A and B are shown apart, each in its own frame.
Chain A
Amino acid sequence: MSVNLASARLWRGFPQAILACVAVVAVAFMLPSEGYYLNILMQAVTYAIAVSGLVVVLGYCGQISIAQAAFFGLGAYGVAIGMVDYHLGFFPAWLCGIGAAGLLGVVLGLGSLRLGGHYLAMVTISFQQILTLFLTNWLEFTHGPDGIRGIPRPRLGPISFEGGHAFLALCMVTLVIVTLAVWRLKTGRLGRAMQAVRDNELAAGTCGINVFATKVIAFGLSAVLGGIGGGLFAGGFQYISPDQFSFGESIVLLTMALLGGVQSPFGSLIGTMVLIILPEWLRFLKEVYLAVYGAAVILIMVFLPDGLWGLMLERVRKRAKPILGDVPKLPLLSQTGAARTDFVLTIEGLAKHFGGLKALDGISLAVRRGSVHALIGPNGSGKSTFINVITGLYKPTAGRVVFAGQDITHVPPYERNRAGLARTFQNIRVFRGMTVLENVMVGAERPGNDVAENPAFVVERALAALDFVGLRGDAHREVGALSYGHQRYVEIARALAATPQMLLLDEPAAGLNLTEKHELGELLKRLKGHGLTILIIDHDMKLVEQVADHITVLNFGKRIADGMPKDVLNHPDVIAAYLGEPQEAAGAAS
């Protein structure tokens, strides 16, 4: 029996979307002609498209944007200026607007996404304000504060969208398509990469994800969706002016996304509808309703962290079922190979200084292909710094790192992963917003992995890795629901699914109880002898003794011993480094 997963199906969601298209077109044409309902729906639908952009950038990728109204405005102005001044057709003008929004989004992203949250908030606010000033003051191009009126609606061959109903139908069909695309994005490779970045940037980087590029793409996509909505808005209302795309509107769009639930396009859709209809319910409040609205925003944040959609899902959530079916074993396990004589990793004179502190002070080291190499040393000896430099999280002050014949000293973390270097973290870094399976899939689909291009194979590989660590039965669960020890196994499975040449384990026994430590030892033994090189850092001498072929000892950033386990562990300097304490006691320290 082979595994057949919904997430791997190519046409997933298409039948529903086609049904939805037919339904919305019918609804659009059944509305009372010209008037309030048409206008309010036109507004809700075009806004909802822009809000789904926030789902991508904020919900999936975790980056805040307070400029969605600006991108919405760029789309609208593209259509308005293109059609009124340059006499383009609606669709080419729309494309211009979307292009402008996307381009500016990418440029803005390139400039600011290396910085964190509040900076991005401020940059997007600045962009929003500057755009408003330009729309208002650049009379020759934007028509200034008067805005642009008389924006025509399109005709496509024999179909005319000039009537209110037909145009609304166009808007709604676009919304259905956008919602489908955004929904499918979430369970696709790019969407998983975005969520990985959101949940843990460092871990995402070491899983082969180009964090910066992923953020820029998310930001650009979000801007494009803003532009799509804005273009339709211009056609829908046939009049636009700068004040419709102000900072305040951006806040409104953001609130819509958060209210509905920023994790899903259905959530943002609900949020948009509610915030457009809510004032109807609040009509008795008259002048205070904006105050009530402000208070409602706070209450939503406090009581509805996942928005209305999250609340609904909680009510109706079906128990996810374990994923059954046999999958091929990890390819690693069908190989055999003892430690060889050639070196897979060579480190020369590696140094890392933090100000005056020499965390690593000229370390040289070589790891034989297929061996299990342990790196030990007391607290503060520089072990963690060492692994962070090797995986590219820290830039070395001096020295050279050669991996599989390639100098990777100045290569970013995701490139190192793609070259075959996978790692786990001392303080566990799993992607908390995702399931166990999805976590491991992120590892399996690193660019360059043999299965990466085929979604079905990715699932199989991830399940195989989970089989290996014994977590197959938990594949469907939220990773946060697992015990600490099992989360560590998820990290190991994630690393193994990427078919690495070398696995770096950063204190894998830290925080585990005795039983778990024992299991870990067994797991490492099962990994041995298949040609995979393992570099393990730990305090736990028992574990290290069990599995290591070779041990290097660090102290105060220097290498103090290197060689076969029993030689090294009896080395007087090593004993001295552990302050003369018995080895068991040293091993228990963490």
Chain B
Amino acid sequence: MAIFLQLLFTGLGIGAIYALVALGFVLLIRAASVVNFAQGQFAMVGAYMLVVCLNVLGLPYLLSMAISVVLMAVFGVIFAGATYWPLRHRGGLPVIISTIGASIFLENIVLFLYGPSPEVLPGLFDSPGIQVGQVFMDSQYLSILVAATLLVVLQYFIFEKTLLGKKLQATSQDKEMASLLGIPVAAMILFTFSYSAMLGGIAGMLVAPVLFVSVGMGGLIALKAFAANIIGGYGSIPGAILGGLALGVAETMGAAYISVPYKDAFAFAMLLMFLAVRPQGLFGEKISEKA
């Protein structure tokens, strides 16, 4: 039982990481119908910004995070301008490819600027964690779980309770209609990119103390996060969160009770299973053909 609980805690911690990255995916899917294959690299770029602020400039932790988040917001707009804007009328595929190009670019430009050796970042807390009964709770996993919860609440608040949120929703549902209603659709989409980059960056900063900071840190996480997205229901916010958590737990349990070397296969096998049996995911709407 102790082992099971320990695995459950870790699974949730890992799952929260997937969920955070998946959240960034969902927003872009909803607002701009963009599948952003560079979402993992957002996390990587965010983590490196924190490394620069903290280890190179020697700023305090929270200030460093704040600066990095602001920089990520700007980065998101630049990213949108380069990869999405020129291709926005050409359908989904060209944008997918250009974000793949962007992911290669980002990894290698950071590799060039910062060098290949991985960096260490301290956690938010000095204590490595707390022992609860027979379960050791890593303080950084706890931070990630708390941050994920806060961000989901914040997102809910923004989307459901503010005028900005209403405009964003209108944009994601019907761009033509939104623009007829006087909503600045372009600005809404840029805002979404910006926000999505911030989310990705925050995810990167939070996982950095656990996974270290390296140019490759985002790649596999992003693939899992995307899988979480589909498992949860394509384009669904609660789906992304639950899909991420479910994936984290399934993967950890699968590794513990079935096979460690095939650990990464569980996520993808689970995804294939969902696509075969329930393609709309946990929370998605039923997929039907359009006439």
Contacts and interface: CB of A to CB of B under 8 A. Distances in A.
B234 A118 contact: yes
Nearest to A211: B289
Interface string A169-207: 000000000000000000000000000000000100000
Interface string B86-109: 110010111111101111111111
A258 B102 CA distance: 15
Nearest to A394: B291
Interface string B42-86: 000000000000000000000000000000000000000011001
A130 B101 contact: no
B275 A287 contact: no
Given A122-B271, A129-B223, A297-B98, A117 B92 contact: yes
B242 interface: no
Interface in A298-325: 298, 300-302, 305
Interface in B256-279: 261-262, 264-265, 268-269, 271-272, 275-276, 279
Given A115-B275, A119-B279, A130 B268 contact: yes
B83 A130 contact: no
A129 B100 contact: no
B112 interface: yes
Interface residues of A, number: 43
A222 to B, nearest CB: 15
B16 interface: no
A359 B234 CA distance: 28
B85 to A, nearest CB: 9
Contacts of B111: 287, 290-291
A291 B83 CA distance: 15
B163 interface: no
A294 interface: yes
Nearest to B220: A129
Given A293-B104, A388-B291, A305 B112 contact: no
Chain A interface main SS type? helix
B245 to A, nearest CB: 19
B108 A294 contact: yes
A134 B265 CA distance: 9
B82 A111 contact: no
A202 B291 contact: yes
Contacts, number: 124
A31 interface: no
A133 B94 contact: no
A121 B95 CA distance: 13
A137 B112 contact: no
B87 A302 contact: yes
Nearest to A301: B98
Q: Is the interface of B mostly helix, strand, loop or mixed?
A: helix
A446 B107 CA distance: 49
A296 B98 CA distance: 9
A111 B230 contact: no
Contacts of A1: none
A294 B97 contact: no
B276 to A, nearest CB: 6
A115 B286 CA distance: 12
Given A118-B92, A133-B265, A294 B104 contact: yes
Contacts of A64: 93, 96
A293 B268 CA distance: 28
A291 B82 contact: no
Contacts of B109: 288, 291, 294
Contacts of B35: 118, 121
A291 B271 contact: no
A254 interface: yes
A251 interface: yes
A125 interface: yes
B50 to A, nearest CB: 21
B227 A294 contact: no
A553 interface: no
B265 A130 contact: yes
Q: Which residue of A64, A294, A295 has the most chain B CB atoms within 10 A of its CB atom?
A: A294
B193 interface: no
A111 B86 CA distance: 34
Contact of B264 (A133, A202, A258, A294): A133
B195 interface: no
Nearest to B34: A118
Interface string A372-397: 00000000000010001000011000
Return the 10 tightest CB-CB contacts between A and B, nearest first: A297-B101, A294-B105, A294-B104, A126-B268, A291-B108, A290-B108, A291-B109, A301-B98, A298-B101, A302-B86
Given A118-B35, A301-B94, A394-B291, 5 more contacts: A117-B93, A126-B272, A294-B101, A298-B82, A384-B291
14 contacts: A64-B96, A111-B272, A111-B276, A116-B287, A118-B96, A122-B230, A122-B271, A130-B268, A130-B269, A254-B97, A287-B111, A301-B98, A301-B101, A302-B87
